[in-house]
Structure 1
Amino acid sequence: MSTSYIKYRPLLKTDATHLRSGVMITTDAPVDNNGQGAFFSPTDLAATSLANCMLTVMGIYADQNNLEFTHIECELTKIMAANPRRISEIQIDVKWKTNLAEKEIEKLKKVGLNCPVAKSLHPDIKQNINFSIEKLS
């Protein structure tokens, strides 16, 4: 079965429908590439998918191992290069409040850093991921 259906609509927008759920997302070209920046750009989604995937597989691992996995969020910066225009770097600052033991934290970090999106991105794309961990009180 197909995953999604994508339709172009002027000016520089696309509507992508997830066929299983019916959920739709719209993209727009970024301001620095002739768009209005009204929605995520395709490269924004590609970069953002890295953080989404990291948190998802970490959550799966935590669920499978009865580990508490809450109070975690990411801030992401996508850096573009020219000639050819492409994503050159994805910076992710992970802020995580937890009472997990250091061994569990390290395992979860390893799982996240090796998520399917991280392994699918071109090796020339620098993945700069920083974890800031604070113990819950």
Structure 2
Amino acid sequence: MTNITCTYLTDGETELVHGPTGSVIQTDLPPDNGGKGRRFSPTDLLAAAFASCVLTIMGKMAAARGEKFEGARVEIDKVMASNPRRVGEFVLKVAFPAHFTAEQKKFYISAVNACPVHQTLHPDVKVTVNVL
């Protein structure tokens, strides 16, 4: 179990403190929801968690296989939906190290579905994956 404390600061901003490490993240409301967009929004953090989850699982897979994985990246776009306001879709763009074969890329893409963040999303949230 991880403890995170969230404190409302002012003007739509919050501060999150990761209990075990003391790491701090601040958030703000996005402009399209009445905020100023000065920091990650809560749904931006959800997108960031998804991308980070996928990439760290891929990194563990690569370590287990003894394959170099440095430089891999995931770009993620969050598409909002309305009625109710929620994330409607995530579009992931996965860039693998240049030396990866098509077979390796296919193997590593399985991490998208294995990611606990993805498994937690409501089934109505569309997930699109593109390999760069």
TM normalised by structure 2 equals 0.91
**For residues 1-137 of structure 1, what are the structure 2 equivalents within 5 Å?**
2-132=2-132
User: Quick check: 2:29–2:42 contact (8 Å CA) kept in 1?
Assistant: yes
Q: Secondary structure at the match of 1:97?
A: coil
1:135 corresponds to which residue? none
User: What is the rounded CA distance, in whole Å, between the counterparts of 2:107 and 2:94 in structure 1?
Assistant: 15
Cα distance, 1:59 vs structure 2 = 0.4
Cα distance, 1:96 vs structure 2 = 2.0
- Give structure 1 stretches of 5+ with no counterpart: 133-137
Structure number with higher strand proportion: 1
Q: Secondary structure at the match of 1:69?
A: coil
**Cα deviation 1:43-93 (Å, max 9, x = unaligned):** 111122111100010001111221111221222211111110000011111
User: Quick check: 2:69–2:97 contact (8 Å CA) kept in 1?
Assistant: no
C-alpha distance 126-73 of structure 1, shift in aligned 2 (>3 A): same
Q: Which runs of 4+ in 1 moved over 4 A?
A: none
Worse-matched range after superposition: 89-98 or 15-24: 89-98
Cα distance, 1:38 vs structure 2 = 0.3
User: Quick check: 2:6–2:14 contact (8 Å CA) kept in 1?
Assistant: yes
User: Quick check: 1:68–1:100 contact (8 Å CA) kept in 2?
Assistant: no
- Give structure 2 stretches of 5+ with no counterpart: none
Residue identity over aligned pairs, in percent, reads 36
User: Quick check: 1:70–1:98 contact (8 Å CA) kept in 2?
Assistant: no
Cα distance, 1:103 vs structure 2 = 3.3
